[in-house]
Structure 1
């Protein structure tokens, strides 16, 4: 018959395997820590890049604001110049209208003058032929000549006025033309400045758009990196927080039933675990997260499952009728790993359960939660 000492020998043989698993877990923790550190370094670099892009974007926005202010000033000048040009064109139009009126008046004067000359000329011609006629009619001739001279004088005066006015209008039109040319040149200059500013503005907007797209890309990358860190931290937390030592006096019972055999390492033979009597074949559950390091039959103890919980803690489940796990399988807390079988010492169905730290058994009742 296999004794408890024999079972202990088997367990001790498995401790080497548990140590390897422990080393593997510690290696995973170290790997995760290194990954987190590397990712944090990348995040730090990405934040610097984002800060640099943000500063560059702000600088561009400052330049853009300055350009927009200049464009606003240029547009004000442009509107003023356009108003000036419109006024000059109105003046030019009015001057042309006045010129046409004066030209019409001049045409009327010339027409009247022609009519007057047409009527006077025969009389004048006869006077010349008659060498001013008879002396006895001199008074009449004198009156005719005085009247004719007065008419010439008045006509000449009006003609001079019309010509002077026409000269003034033509000069004014030349001034208006010069002013209009200057305004048009100024408009072209202002429009050129405006077009140049708009080109600079579009260039800045394009640059800002590119920087913003790059920022969005960097922010998404940063978000992904932070999510990665969170996931890695979560995994690390799982690995480091799943310390069975932190759950002392709160671990669930491995199965439902009454404790009939209690922990007593001083007894002869020593009792290194507890015996639980069950009502038939009930579910046996893992008391904590861990990895199955043994799953096989052991003469005198039925099927035995040993689960390593990290940090040199492991639990043992004996007298199983069947098991639902495989060696190397990771199990969750409260995961069903098998069914209770016949427990010879109890002469009934039950479970023999041990909890060990390093190579020493510990009292399971101080670790399990009370009902």
Structure 2
């Protein structure tokens, strides 16, 4: 081994041939290293491309999951809303049925009350009159007639109910007047009718004024035609402020519209 100072000269070519041989070997090594580097660069590029594609797929999956969760929440809300509506319909149906049964019972109670009151009346008051007033009576209160006398169908329950009078929509406190002269035979609260006034007009004719607020007449007092006997209210009413008005003969309801003036 030859040394130049402290430098190892073993790696130096010993001849021109050896120089070119080592040069070619070096080129091959460099070329091989370049190919390895290019392959690694290609693999890295493919790996980065795969990583990007994977990230896109993950993002798409997350977006899809978010959308699915949103749709599920929407469906759950819709289902809950439908169930709530269905429960409300059922509740109203039960309430309506209970109200219907209560009104039927109240009507029967009123029939019994009138029957008892009729037995208490020993002498009829002036009979000159009421039977001749058909189609001539004024409406008992200023307002709008909302429901009329007769049989009405209930689609929800597939049933029919009979209404013995008319409902007149009014303003609270509106004066309620007796449609004809007579005697007050009932003036107090009755279930289903609230504050109720019944006036006997003789010959077994009666008029009824229900849901009134203030009552100005007592049982046994006489009233004149058009005299204010109460104020309109909503006692015992399920329809708000209104006056329920009936005309009865021998205890049975008759159509009030046939007794009121046309256009009432």
TM-score bracket for the superposition, by shorter chain length: 0.5 to 0.7
CA contact (8 A) 2:127 2:201 kept: no
Question: Unaligned regions of 5+ residues in structure 2, if any?
Answer: 1-98, 154-159
Q: TM-score, normalised by structure 1?
A: 0.40
The aligned counterpart of 1:303 is: 195
Does 2:143 correspond to 1:257? Answer: yes
Q: Aligned-pair distance for 1:281? A: 2.0
CA contact (8 A) 1:290 1:310 kept: yes
CA contact (8 A) 1:12 1:359 kept: no
Q: 1:301 to 1:25 in 2, by over 3 A?
A: closer
Does 2:205 correspond to 1:313? Answer: yes
Q: Aligned-pair distance for 1:360? A: 1.3
Superposed CA offset, 1:186-211 (max 9, x none): xxxxxxxxxxxxxxxxxxxxxxxxxx
Alignment partner of 2:164 out of 272, 275, 279: 272
Aligned equivalents of 1:284 and 1:346: distance in 2?
Answer: 18
The aligned counterpart of 1:323 is: 215
Q: Aligned-pair distance for 1:5? A: 3.4
Does 2:131 correspond to 1:245? Answer: yes
Superposed CA offset, 1:208-266 (max 9, x none): xxxxxxxxxxxxxxxxxxxxxxxxxxxxxxx342x211010001111010000110146
Q: TM-score, normalised by structure 2?
A: 0.55
Q: Aligned-pair distance for 1:298? A: 1.7
User: Whose strand fraction is larger, Structure 1's or Structure 2's?
Assistant: 2
The aligned counterpart of 1:13 is: 113
Question: Unaligned regions of 5+ residues in structure 1, if any?
Answer: 27-238
Larger radius of gyration: 1
The aligned counterpart of 1:346 is: 239
CA contact (8 A) 1:319 1:352 kept: yes
CA contact (8 A) 1:305 1:318 kept: yes
Backbone CA RMSD of aligned residues: 1.9
Aligned length: 156
User: Whose helix fraction is larger, Structure 1's or Structure 2's?
Assistant: 1
Aligned equivalents of 1:276 and 1:265: distance in 2?
Answer: 17
Q: 1:4 to 1:286 in 2, by over 3 A?
A: farther
Aligned equivalents of 2:233 and 2:127: distance in 1?
Answer: 34
Q: 1:3 to 1:295 in 2, by over 3 A?
A: same
